[in-house]
């Protein structure tokens, strides 16, 4: 039995639906507030929120809507924020291609996915054609 | 899941005063006592508060999970006293012992309450031990975290001190870099330069790398990122102290040199910045 | 939906983005600006983003388009006041906004516009 910080933490998970650009602003706002309250530096806050913005847009615009679940992580003395974006969209056929800078299926600059990956410490993507997309990002303090 | 409710909350509620007195006596007689670091009046006050907070937290009958809301005031208190003890020079063990020393008076009281029932006594002592261990270890974790925060802050301060940004002229800043540039240091450097640009409203920043022995592709990348970021803010960067090998590295990175202004030394860079700012240097013969 | 106000300052138009930019607002701004450039015969556009805390790839694209479109309409665009944290993030994202001129603040931005106009008029 250990008496460390792992296990339940005082921050509860926040889930935000993402269906339109008002929702995207909400995601940015909430992510920013949480990062700021946890004492992330301004640059860290900006990187996290920008990554969240990219991924939220993917959900709303390319994914046909979905949601994000935000968790605060406190393990072994490290503090971090985890966001998991899920959408019910068409899924991505070639993930490697999608992560390449310049690749875009729509009107974007094509750096959303790859760019978001560069802004965070941990990045995981799970997507299959016809089964939607899930992207997990973590930024540590 | 306990089959029967623990008697500990009731015992503490009923015998709060006696337990407190016994606990204080134990602490004051202990070898661990540090009267040089903590006054007796303070110890009394803190012990009283600990007990009161313990009594309150136990009202919800949760003796196992100290992360839940009812234990928040106690956790907060433990953070405060740990902070104070760090400041005064206590060791982590001495700090945790404050909590652990509560076991003795509590067990004595539990023994009296359990009477002849050895099984009940054993169970209650086990529950109490686990709980107080958790609380004591919590102070150790807080202690550790605080120490780490201090180290990080000192590291940041050192990095700041070793990367001073100098104002050469109105609107012209210089950043003489000395020593090895690793990823972390370059980030700090980049942010500090950009902030200075914002603060002073500078249009030019000279980044001098004469004093940097090794510039590998990673460092070169960071430097170029700094130049790009400054440009986005509206300031131009000139990199001075560029040795031939560095020029090679930049080219190998696939960056066209036309994008980055470079000069062999800071003097030339300064001259260029002055010229681009519209200044002419004239020598007075008087 | 609120539109971001476009203010005329002599021959230039000034836009100050104070709020977190909705995608819709950004597109509306683009339309408004193009309309105003023609209407007011503006020769330059200053976009003040000193209050903007996030510039993601979409906003970056919109800014790039505004610069390109205004150039076709014979006006220069200058972005002013980018915050350091935003600059660092954009560079990390890979967005360097080529072809978009930048300045530290509105004053410097106007200076930049005036000098470039003078140069053009020779």
ipTM for the whole complex: 0.90
Q: How many domains does chain A have?
A: 1
Which range has the top average pLDDT, A89-103, A113-127, B142-156?
Answer: A113-127
- Asked if residue B281 belongs to a domain, the reply is no
- Asked if residue B3 belongs to a domain, the reply is no
Residues B180 and B57 in one domain: no
Contacts of B30 (CB under 8 A, 6+ apart): B97, B101
Angle, helices B40-57/B16-29, rounded to nearest 10 degrees: 140
Per-residue pLDDT averaged across A44-73, rounded? Answer: 93
Residues B58 and B120 in one domain: yes
**DSSP notation for C85-116:** HHHHHHHHHT---TT-EEESSHHHHHHHHHHH
Measured between CB atoms, which of B225, B229, B233 is closest to C104?
B233
Domain closes at, from B156, B180, B198:
B156
- Asked if residue B284 belongs to a domain, the reply is no
- Asked if residue C114 belongs to a domain, the reply is yes
User: Choosing among B171, B226, B229, which should be mutated to test the C contact, i.e. which has the most C CBs within 10 A?
Assistant: B229
CATH code of B145's domain: 1.10.490.130
Residues B110 and B210 in one domain: no
- Asked if residue B283 belongs to a domain, the reply is no
Residues B146 and B18 in one domain: yes
B69 vs A contacts (CB less than 8 Å): 10
pLDDT value, residue A6: 36
CATH code of A92's domain: 3.30.565.10
Assigned token pair, C31: 């339309």
- Asked if residue A134 belongs to a domain, the reply is yes
- Asked if residue C90 belongs to a domain, the reply is yes
pLDDT band (50, 70, 90) for residue C68: very high
Q: Check whether B133 has a pLDDT greater than 90.
A: yes
Residues B83 and B152 in one domain: yes
| Domain encompassing residue B49 | 8-156
- Asked if residue C37 belongs to a domain, the reply is yes
Residues B80 and B50 in one domain: yes
- Asked if residue A9 belongs to a domain, the reply is no
Asked if B61 has any chain A CB less than 8 Å from its own CB, the reply is no
- Asked if residue B285 belongs to a domain, the reply is no
Asked if A21 has any chain C CB less than 8 Å from its own CB, the reply is yes
Q: Do C24 and A21 touch (CB under 8 A)?
A: yes
pLDDT band (50, 70, 90) for residue A5: very low
pLDDT band (50, 70, 90) for residue A119: very high
Q: Which long-range contacts (CB under 8 A, 24 or more apart) does B197-201 make?
A: B197/B173, B197/B230, B197/B233, B197/B235, B197/C84, B197/C104, B198/B233, B198/C83, B198/C84, B198/C104, B200/B167, B200/B171, B200/B173, B201/B171, B201/C104, B201/C105, B201/C108
Q: Which residues pair with C78 in a beta bridge?
A: C46, C101
Single pTM value for the model:
0.69
Chains that touch B (3 or more CB pairs under 8 A): A, C
Between positions 82 and 121 of A, the ones with CB within 8 A of C are 101, 107-109, 111-112, 114-115, 118-119
| Domain encompassing residue C98 | 6-121
- Asked if residue C15 belongs to a domain, the reply is yes
Per-residue pLDDT averaged across B201-208, rounded? Answer: 94
Query: Pick the residue with more confidence: C121 or A119?
Result: A119
Reported as a single tens digit per residue, the pLDDT across B245-277 is: 777 877 777 766 567 788 989 999 999 999 998
- Asked if residue A3 belongs to a domain, the reply is no
User: Choosing among C54, C79, C87, which should be mutated to test the B contact, i.e. which has the most B CBs within 10 A?
Assistant: C87
pLDDT band (50, 70, 90) for residue C98: confident
pLDDT value, residue A108: 52
Residues B45 and B179 in one domain: no
Per-residue pLDDT averaged across B207-228, rounded? Answer: 84
Query: Pick the residue with more confidence: B247 or A23?
Result: A23
- Asked if residue B17 belongs to a domain, the reply is yes
Distance CA B185, CA B173 (A): 19
Is residue C34 within 8 Å of C67, Cβ to Cβ? no
Q: What angle do CA B132, B67, B137 make, to 5 degrees?
A: 35
Per-residue pLDDT averaged across A80-109, rounded? Answer: 77
Angle, helices C84-93/B183-200, rounded to nearest 10 degrees: 130
Q: Check whether C121 has a pLDDT greater than 80.
A: no
C82 vs A contacts (CB less than 8 Å): none
A22 vs C contacts (CB less than 8 Å): 22
Q: Reduced to 3 states, what is the DSSP secondary structure of residue B22?
A: helix
Among B89-93, B124-128, B250-254, C11-15, whose mean pLDDT is lowest? B250-254
Is residue B127 within 8 Å of B97, Cβ to Cβ? no
Residues B137 and B175 in one domain: no
Asked if C24 has any chain A CB less than 8 Å from its own CB, the reply is yes
Contacts of B53 (CB under 8 A, 6+ apart): B73, B74, B77
Q: Chain centroid to CA C15: how far?
A: 7
Q: Do B67 and A8 touch (CB under 8 A)?
A: yes
Q: Do B68 and A8 touch (CB under 8 A)?
A: yes
- Asked if residue A58 belongs to a domain, the reply is yes
Residues B264 and B219 in one domain: yes
Per-residue pLDDT averaged across C55-62, rounded? Answer: 90
**DSSP notation for C43-88:** SEEEEE-TT-----HHHHHHHHHHHHHHHHTT-EEEEE---HHHHH
Q: How many domains does chain B have?
A: 2
Q: Do C57 and A22 touch (CB under 8 A)?
A: no
- Asked if residue C1 belongs to a domain, the reply is no
pLDDT value, residue A111: 61
Domain closes at, from B156, B180, B204:
B156
Reported as a single tens digit per residue, the pLDDT across C1-51 is: 678 899 999 889 999 998 778 888 999 999 999 999 999 999 999 999 999
C-alpha distance from A107 to closest chain C C-alpha (Å): 9
- Asked if residue A19 belongs to a domain, the reply is yes
CATH code of C93's domain: 3.30.750.24
What is residue C19's DSSP assignment? S
- Asked if residue B282 belongs to a domain, the reply is no
| Domain encompassing residue A117 | 14-140
Residues B181 and B250 in one domain: yes
Q: Check whether B237 has a pLDDT greater than 70.
A: yes
Per-residue pLDDT averaged across A91-100, rounded? Answer: 78
Q: Check whether B73 has a pLDDT greater than 80.
A: yes
pLDDT band (50, 70, 90) for residue A8: very low
B198 sits in the region (left: phi over 0; alpha: psi -120 to 50; else beta) called: alpha
Sort B98 into a burial class: Cβ within 10 Å, 0-12 / 13-18 / 19+: buried
Q: Check whether C122 has a pLDDT greater than 60.
A: no
Residues B134 and B181 in one domain: no
pLDDT value, residue B146: 87
Is residue B257 within 8 Å of B250, Cβ to Cβ? yes
Asked if C84 has any chain B CB less than 8 Å from its own CB, the reply is yes
Domain closes at, from B156, B175, B190:
B156
Q: Check whether A7 has a pLDDT greater than 50.
A: no
Residues B142 and B187 in one domain: no
């Amino acid at each position: 039995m250990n008496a460390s910080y792992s296990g339940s933490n005082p921050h509860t998970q926040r889930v935000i639906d993402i269906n339109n650009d008002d929702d995207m602003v909400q995601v940015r706002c909430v992510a920013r507030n949480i990062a700021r309250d946890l004492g992330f530096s301004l640059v860290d806050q900006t990187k996290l929120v920008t990554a969240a913005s990219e991924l939220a847009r993917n959900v709303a615009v390319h994914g046909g809507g979905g949601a994000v679940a935000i968790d605060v992580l406190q393990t072994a003395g490290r503090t971090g924020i985890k966001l998991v974006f899920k959408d019910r969209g068409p899924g991505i056929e070639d993930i490697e291609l999608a992560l390449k800078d310049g690749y875009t299926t729509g009107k974007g600059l094509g750096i959303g996915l790859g760019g978001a990956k560069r802004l965070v410490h941990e990045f995981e993507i799970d997507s299959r054609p016809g089964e939607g997309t899930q992207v997990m990002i973590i930024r540590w303090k | 899941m306990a089959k029967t409710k623990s008697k500990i909350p009731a015992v503490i509620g009923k015998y709060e005063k006696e337990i407190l007195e016994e606990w204080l006596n134990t602490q004051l007689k202990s070898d661990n006592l540090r009267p040089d670091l903590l006054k007796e009046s303070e110890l009394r006050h803190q012990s009283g508060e600990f007990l009161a907070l313990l009594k309150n937290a136990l009202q919800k009958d949760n003796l196992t999970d100290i992360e839940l809301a009812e234990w928040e005031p106690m956790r907060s208190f433990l953070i405060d006293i740990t902070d104070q003890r760090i400041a005064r020079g206590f060791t982590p063990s001495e700090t945790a012992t404050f909590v652990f020393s509560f076991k003795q008076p509590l067990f004595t009281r539990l023994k009296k309450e359990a009477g002849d029932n050895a099984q009940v006594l054993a169970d209650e002592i086990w529950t109490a031990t686990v709980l107080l261990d958790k609380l004591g270890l919590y102070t150790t974790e807080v202690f550790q975290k605080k120490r780490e925060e201090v180290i990080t802050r000192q590291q940041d301060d050192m990095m700041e001190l070793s990367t001073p940004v100098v104002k050469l002229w109105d609107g012209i800043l210089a950043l003489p870099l000395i020593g090895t540039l690793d990823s972390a240091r370059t980030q700090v450097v980049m942010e500090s330069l950009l902030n200075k640009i914002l603060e002073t409203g500078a249009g030019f920043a000279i980044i001098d790398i004469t004093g940097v022995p090794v510039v590998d592709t990673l460092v070169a990348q960071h430097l170029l990122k700094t130049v790009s970021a400054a440009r986005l803010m509206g300031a131009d960067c000139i990199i001075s102290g560029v040795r031939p090998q560095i020029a090679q590295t930049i080219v190998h990175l696939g960056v066209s040199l036309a994008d980055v202004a470079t000069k062999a030394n800071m003097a030339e860079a300064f001259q260029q910045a002055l010229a681009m700012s519209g200044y002419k240097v004239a020598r007075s013969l008087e | 939906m609120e539109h971001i106000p476009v203010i005329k300052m002599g021959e230039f138009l000034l836009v100050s983005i104070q709020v977190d930019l909705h995608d819709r607002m950004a597109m509306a701004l683009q339309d408004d600006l193009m309309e105003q450039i023609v209407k007011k015969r503006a020769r330059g556009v200053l976009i003040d983003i000193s209050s903007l805390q996030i510039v993601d790839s979409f906003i970056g694209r919109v800014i790039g388009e505004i610069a390109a479109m205004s150039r076709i309409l014979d006006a220069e665009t200058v972005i002013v006041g980018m915050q350091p944290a935003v600059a660092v993030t954009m560079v990390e994202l890979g967005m360097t906004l080529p072809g978009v001129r930048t300045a530290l603040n509105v004053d410097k931005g106007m200076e930049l516009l005036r000098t470039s106009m003078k140069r053009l008029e020779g």
